[in-house]
Amino acid sequence: MSTLGSKESNGIERIDSSNTLLNRPAPAASIYQKSLDLLDKLACIDGFEIYFENLLIKSRQNEKSRTELYRDPMQLVWEILQKGVSLCVLYNCLYPDEPIPTEKQVDGGLNVIKKLVYTFLKACKDKKLVDPNDLFTITDLFKDDTNSFVKVLKTVEIIVSNIEAKGLLGESNVNPLPSTYFMDTQLKDPTDNKERIVREFLDTERKYVQDLETLQAYMQELKSKSIVSNDTLRFIFANLNNMVDFQRRFIIGVEANALSPPIDQRFGALFSSMEEGFSVYEPYCANYDRASKLTISQAPALSRLSHIIEPNYELPSMLIKPIQRICKYPLILREMLKLSEEDSPAKSDLELGYSVATRVTDKVNEARRREGNMDIVRNLIDRIQDWKGYSASSFGELYLNDTFIMSSDDTTRELQVYLFDNILICCREVNDQNNRKSKQGSNQSSSSNSLQAGPGNGSLKLIGRIFLYSIYKILNTSKLNVPVLTVFWKDNFMENFKLRCKSDEQLNLWKNTMEKLIATAVDKHLKQSSPEILSNKEQDDPMHNKSSFGHLDDYKSDDDSKNLSKFCLQNLHFFG
């Protein structure tokens, strides 16, 4: 591997063998510190003091109390630069041969502002003050996206560095310095356990944002060099740009709270105020399994940038970081809670934050479950040989799938069972020799003793199905430590079928989920059972044809029907 600290012409860091991408320390400065540093330097430039007048007024008004949740220096920098004329003042501080006129343009409209920004950018390019690749665009300046703001920040930092290098940066025209408005205290070494947790939270958050930005730069490099297709990029990195944007905004709140006295820290309120924003994690985390598979198949192409991120080990480790981080937040807040005094404002604040972080994690897990189930359904559609005229699209969402043992005194068999919104279906894997031969070199179908529901290679035969609204009740009929779930179904008379489970956990999960879905299915069925609606649906949709589940088909010499009849499954509608 190549060295970290050296950079390519594109600005992407190379990897050092003694300080790899995965174990490098947290950066010394985040976008929060960079914004504070820039504000203090801008305060030293003649003509910028006007932009800090409102800040000084607020500082005096809030010496004893704070009304805002936290103070955001990035937003102030953004607002100052969006005035347009401020950029021209900054350029003129270099004493160019042709200064940009700024008189009478302080209060110009948006078109005047954009013209000033254009003039600034053109001057920087013409005078070769900034490399064209580092120049922001007018759109970047006015777009509400930190991915664009970091480009603006980089350009301005280069100009300020030029001013400083020429000795043209004087004393501050603003007293006290702007940074003091945002920082109540300097970051000090922790003195107790709670401060140590806060410091660890801050350091790991800085490192996490740094990793996201590295991953984002890697994605952009892949795109610029056309190493993989745009569709492949989208499937690997999903909505990474949106997540980086959100996480930069979030770390500003973390930084602001960590730099505040413990009595003023409101991490819980921070999580609560940004709960909606955490939704960016749902599509990314739901896409992770697909992304992992793609990185394997695309590894030969991705290896062209292995000097930036190695595709076989480092890339998977980087891609999973958002999942790991979102699951870490409830643990961090829980540890803070343990060290908070009873009945203190800090404890109630952290309880709020813990509830939000837990809720966010639950939503991410649910998004992953739903996406995983969609993959299972796609796989199921491909594997079933004959759907008997039914369409999986009419079954609703898949909630559970698993393997159940169905047995009698002398016979044992495993069936794959899938529980949808509207229906429960049973399948068995087909002993298709031709299919097995065609899949040599791939994963072979598992034996009957290790059959797993879900994605697989073998073909499936649709054995039976039952609509949920026809289920009367579900009972736990376990005996002699054998967990058994008995489902009672009623049409003209009561029937039942038994599912022998692998564990009590499996039994309880299926029982509770089925009861909820059955209640919903029955309610929906009753609402749709008016004579007119039912008549139309019976003509157009076999899913609503009552006769389709009210009796058994006549079996000819199907071995499945003979065996399954022994397993108390006569209530299911089987296909001969």
For the chain, the residue count is 576
Q: What is the DSSP letter of 340?
A: S
In this prediction, residues 500-516 reach a mean pLDDT of 93
Residue 212 and residue 321 in contact, taking contact as beta carbons nearer than 8 Å: yes
Please determine, for residue 538, whether its predicted confidence score (pLDDT) is greater than 80.
Answer: no
* Residue 495 host element (H or E): strand 494-500
Q: Which residues are CB-neighbours of 452 under 8 A, at least 6 positions away?
A: 403, 446
Residue 27 and residue 204 in contact, taking contact as beta carbons nearer than 8 Å: no
Q: Which residues are CB-neighbours of 474 under 8 A, at least 6 positions away?
A: 485, 486, 487, 488, 511, 514, 515, 518
Please determine, for residue 563, whether its predicted confidence score (pLDDT) is greater than 50.
Answer: no
Q: What angle do CA 332, 21, 152 make, to 5 degrees?
A: 85
Q: What angle do CA 168, 141, 229 make, to 5 degrees?
A: 120
Dihedral sign for Cα atoms in the order 526, 532, 536, 539? positive
> What is the pLDDT, as a whole number, of residue 148?
95
- What tokens does 218 get? 């890697």
Q: What is the DSSP letter of 62?
A: T
* Residue 471 host element (H or E): strand 471-476
* Residue 463 host element (H or E): strand 460-467
Phi, psi (rounded to 5 degrees) for 403: -105, 130
Which residue in the block uniquely carries the two structure tokens 């709960």? 275
pTM of the predicted structure, to 2 decimals? 0.79
Q: Rounded CA gap, 545 and 176, in Å?
A: 79
Please determine, for residue 449, whether its predicted confidence score (pLDDT) is greater than 60.
Answer: no
Q: What angle do CA 338, 341, 347 make, to 5 degrees?
A: 70
> What is the pLDDT, as a whole number, of residue 410?
57
Q: Rounded CA gap, 244 and 217, in Å?
A: 11
- What tokens does 312 get? 């076989």
> What is the pLDDT, as a whole number, of residue 550?
32
**Least-confidence region, from 262-271, 432-441, 501-510:** 432-441
**Which has the higher per-residue pLDDT, 225 or 565?**
225
Amino acid at 312: N
In this prediction, residues 244-260 reach a mean pLDDT of 94
> What is the pLDDT, as a whole number, of residue 537?
47
Q: Rounded CA gap, 407 and 568, in Å?
A: 9
Q: Which residues are CB-neighbours of 436 under 8 A, at least 6 positions away?
A: 444, 445, 458
Buried b (16+ CB within 10 A) or exposed e, 195-217: eebbeebbeebbbbbbbbbbbbb
Residue 43 and residue 181 in contact, taking contact as beta carbons nearer than 8 Å: no
Phi, psi (rounded to 5 degrees) for 475: -125, 150
**Which has the higher per-residue pLDDT, 562 or 144?**
144
Q: Rounded CA gap, 536 and 75, in Å?
A: 59
Phi-psi group of 84: left, alpha or beta (phi > 0 → left; psi -120 to 50 → alpha; rest → beta): left
CA 440 vs. chain centroid, Å, equals 37
In this prediction, residues 400-416 reach a mean pLDDT of 76
Q: Cβ atoms within 10 A of the Cβ of 521, count?
A: 21
Phi, psi (rounded to 5 degrees) for 555: -90, 145
**Least-confidence region, from 5-14, 169-178, 548-557:** 548-557
287, 476, 489, 491 from 505: Cα distances, Å:
27, 12, 23, 30
> What is the pLDDT, as a whole number, of residue 106?
56
Q: What's the first-to-final CA gap in the chain, in angstroms? A: 62
Phi-psi group of 472: left, alpha or beta (phi > 0 → left; psi -120 to 50 → alpha; rest → beta): alpha
In percent, how much of the chain has pLDDT > 70? Answer: 78
Let me know if 243 is exposed, middle or buried by CB neighbors in 10 A (0-12, 13-18, 19+).
Answer: buried
Secondary structure class of 546 (helix, strand, coil): helix
Let me know if 237 is exposed, middle or buried by CB neighbors in 10 A (0-12, 13-18, 19+).
Answer: buried
- What tokens does 33 get? 């510190």
> What is the pLDDT, as a whole number, of residue 445?
35
Please determine, for residue 450, whether its predicted confidence score (pLDDT) is greater than 50.
Answer: no
Residue 383 and residue 460 in contact, taking contact as beta carbons nearer than 8 Å: yes
Cis bond before residue 176 (omega within 30° of 0): yes
Please determine, for residue 7, whether its predicted confidence score (pLDDT) is greater than 60.
Answer: no
Q: Rounded CA gap, 180 and 175, in Å?
A: 10
Domains of the chain in start order, with CATH, are: 31-182 (1.10.418), 193-368 (1.20.900.10), 385-432+450-574 (2.30.29.30)
Dihedral sign for Cα atoms in the order 3, 6, 9, 10? positive
Let me know if 139 is exposed, middle or buried by CB neighbors in 10 A (0-12, 13-18, 19+).
Answer: exposed
**Which has the higher per-residue pLDDT, 79 or 494?**
79
Mean pLDDT of the chain: 82
Query: Residue 389's pLDDT band (boundaries 50, 70, 90)?
Result: confident
Q: What is the pLDDT of residues 166-191, one digit of tens each?
A: 999 888 888 888 888 887 666 777 77
**Which has the higher per-residue pLDDT, 497 or 251?**
251
* Residue 241 host element (H or E): helix 240-258
The radius of gyration of the chain's CA atoms, rounded to the nearest angstrom, is: 32
